[in-house]
Chain A
Amino acid sequence: MKIRTPSTATGDRLILLAVVLLAAIWIAPIVWVVGLSFKPNEVLMRTTGGLVSPPFTLKNYTDILNSSAVFGWMLNSAIVAIGQMTLTLILASLTGYGFARTNFPGKRPLFLLTLVALAVPEQAIIVPLHTMFATLDLHNTYIALITPRLAFPFGVLLMTQYFRAISPEIEEAALLDNASRLRIFIFIVLPLSVPAQATLGIYTFLHAWNDYFWPLVSATRPEMYTLTVGLASMQTNFAQTEGLGFLMAQAVFAGLPVLVLYLFFQRHIVAAVAGAPTR
């Protein structure tokens, strides 16, 4: 237990102040985006100031909802994001556990290869990826949207590190308790790694949800668009500001599921960032 002295209390208050200030700076553009999304486009053509003064409108949102394709895109995004998240968690956990706890020939080179893969930028492999999926005739499928991202070195490393930090004695106790490797993995290791799973899961989900580049390349048929690609396709020209309110409403709309997700997993996100396992 730390003893609180007056000076640390003052220090805490200063830190709090700084954090509040940073948060305010951070949130300002978001507030602006939300505000603009409720303004009529004609008004915004003239001025983008006067956020808090009428007129307000919901037209930008009804426009989105009236475009029948939006829900299909949202469903696509959900399938891709959830699929990518689930499969990445499974793969990264199994691989990480293998690296952390088993010995097999070639383990070190494989691990190094994983590290090296961290440094490969997405853009560098987009052409071969495109060619590959074109050859396999898989473009405009969920498989094409989901699979390229499953080889996720960061996830593997995260899980490897997390599994390594679990006391080996706990697994040895389970071994003496007659548990097979698989039972140990399922009943001991996985439950203990929930914080890391949550971090990785949320990260992967958000990444997949926000992804634009690969879906733009791979999904060329509108019914296979993800939300990001679909919304972008509704904007004929980025430079023209005539649909600014509509544009902002699209951004808010696309961000809503992410916000909901955060509200659900806030505890795990905070715990994972703070490095403290949740009980």
Chain B
Amino acid sequence: MGGLSLRGLSKSYGSLDIMRDLSLEIADGEFAVFLGPSGCGKSTLLRMVAGLEAPTSGEIHLGNRRIDAIAPGERGVAMVFQNYALYPHMTVKQNMAFGLRNVGTPRDEIASKIAIAAKMLEIAHLLDRKPGQLSGGQRQRVAIGRAIVKQPEVFLFDEPLSNLDAALRSRTRIELARLHQRVQSTMIFVTHDQVEAMTMATRIVVMNHGRIEQVGAPMEIYRKPSTRFVASFIGSPSMNFLPVVQAGESDGRALVRLADGTVVATEILSASVPRSGEMTLGVRAEHVTPGSGTAARVDVVERLGERTLVYAIVDDGSTIVYDEPGDVAPAIGEHVRLSLDPANVMLFDAAGLAYHAEPRA
């Protein structure tokens, strides 16, 4: 047992660099979620860990073994593929037994391992069926079962929920979190869905263009995104971004001016913010309150039940989304005034780097 260590991993296809010098430590027993848009290299990374793809350079260590040059089957990893990749001509039982048979596990031991996993995943009644006779959700469980029976040190999941319908997806999220509690193995889960990342991860690794943008606990990533990319990728609705210019400081904290002239106070240390260059203010819907402040016109009202989102258009044409605190939403076309919570606005410089509020001593 042990953690997974990626050291300076690079991957190119010919002259096309997919990944450059990626390093990361994943502790034993962690549920690490790699989150990033489609095409950012998540699958490539997983496949390198699994041994299905060779890194162009760099090393992969699992515990105190270097595994990047050994055969996939001998790495102690199991993978659940996006399309499950079950063996279509084998029954569920044979699917789960195949990996164990290949290493000469005794018959009765195979049977008992399958029985335990089948019970855990509630697929005991499906053992004699073939994949073609299963629903998507059932196939998914079988794919997970096939991984579990091997008792791997690391589970690799490549967007395993993307083929499920919404209800099943949220149920499976909970079950995977529970499974992680039970087996205590290291899990690496790859997805482009920030909800999956937020709900299951003990740690989120946000990726973009084959690079790591940020690594952190889910709430840390949500509250303190280190780049504008992360800020826009995490959270629903997406964070509001408004162009601003600097307007001096008050008590050492930066002041910025919105396009309509409204000055917004922040809790960001003005000394930390670059003096010049374009800035963007970021603020989440729940930190915008109607009442006083910058003028806006209501465009769309979105009732979600537990919260109501109002999309309002400000002077320069950009849209701000905010949480309507009351039950009665404003009418479309109505004029509102919006204030931004100084403790929770953040600034991004032209390069997309984030500046966060500093709590007062």
Contacts and interface: CB of A to CB of B under 8 A. Distances in A.
B85 interface: yes
B117 to A, nearest CB: 14
A188 interface: yes
Among B85, B86, B146, the most chain A Cβ lie within 10 Å of the Cβ of: B85
19 contacts: A169-B83, A170-B85, A170-B86, A172-B85, A173-B86, A173-B146, A174-B87, A175-B51, A175-B52, A176-B73, A177-B146, A177-B150, A178-B74, A178-B102, A179-B98, A179-B99, A183-B102, A191-B89, A279-B88
A167 B103 CA distance: 24
B79 A176 contact: yes
B283 interface: no
Interface residues of B, number: 25
Given A173-B86, A175-B73, A176-B50, 12 more contacts: A167-B85, A170-B88, A172-B50, A175-B71, A175-B72, A176-B73, A176-B99, A177-B98, A177-B102, A177-B150, A179-B102, A279-B88
Contact of A178 (B99, B130, B132): B99
Interface in A242-275: none
What are the 7 A-B residue pairs with the smallest beta carbon separation, nearest first? A178-B73, A177-B99, A169-B85, A173-B85, A178-B102, A191-B89, A175-B72
A187 interface: yes
A172 B99 contact: no
A275 to B, nearest CB: 16
Secondary structure call for the A interface:
helix
B347 interface: no
A268 to B, nearest CB: 14
Contacts of B148: none
Interface residues of A, number: 17
A232 interface: no
Interface in B67-89: 71-74, 77-79, 81, 83, 85-89
Interface string B96-130: 00110011000000000000000000000000001
Nearest to A188: B87
Contacts of B77: 176
Interface in B120-161: 130, 132, 146, 150
Listed residue (A172, A174, A176, A188) with the most chain B CB atoms within 10 angstroms of its CB: A176
